[in-house]
Amino acid sequence: MRALQASVEPEAVADYQLAGQDGPVRLSQLFGDKDTLFVIHNMGKTCPNCTMWADGFNGVLPHLENRAAFVVTSPDDPATQAAFAAARGWRFRMLSHQGTDFAADMGYRGEAGWLPGVSVFRRDGDRILRVSDQRLEPGDDLCAVWHFFDMIPEGPAGWRAKCAYN
């Protein structure tokens, strides 16, 4: 992984403006006192898989934030994000990229709509560099649920995530 990252040229990105509960915020402001920023590209509250990933991120948030800034973005408006996050007990910061080119420019908008993933940004003086990114998909390494299911003899066996289980 380190060799692959070292071989990729960091990509300079614009200082996008996103929407938060307290108004507009620039990408550069999300770093806080850190030099590195994780941005999760979430498809919004209608995506069960994105919801499951976010539930997992919530659990590891203190560990991640000890090393880097962390934010989840989605096309949902800030009020919708806040209500959904409160209902799920999420503690991470959420921002809306609605009406911006941010997700599309980062490669997380396809012909069928939004795509899930994670981008890692690094602050370099006044520049913002994207140093790595990865798509999220069922079975990926960033969601522990799939690894637990891999331990069951039949694996996931067609299981699909839901936003709620009755």
Give the Cα separation of 61 and 68 in Å (integer).
10
pLDDT over threshold 70, residue 109 = yes
DSSP bridge pairs for 83: none
- What is the value of pTM for the model shown? 0.92
- The per-residue DSSP string of 80-148 comes to HHHHHHHHHT--SEEEE-TTSSHHHHTT-EETTEE--EEEEEEEETTEEEEEEEEE--TT-TT-HHHHH
Q: Which fold has domain 2-150?
A: Glutaredoxin (3.40.30)
Q: Where are the domains of the chain?
A: 2-150
Tokens for 126? 């006044």
Mean pLDDT calculated for residue range 32-49: 96
- What does residue 111 show for φ and ψ, rounded to 5 degrees? -60, -35
pLDDT over threshold 80, residue 130 = yes
Mean pLDDT calculated for residue range 69-79: 98
- For 51, counting Cβ atoms within 10 Å of its Cβ (0-12 exposed, 13-18 middle, 19+ buried), the class is buried
pLDDT score recorded for residue 114 = 95
Q: How confident is the model at residue 139 (pLDDT cuts 50, 70, 90)?
A: confident
Mean pLDDT of the chain: 93
Contact 118, 40 (CB under 8 A): yes
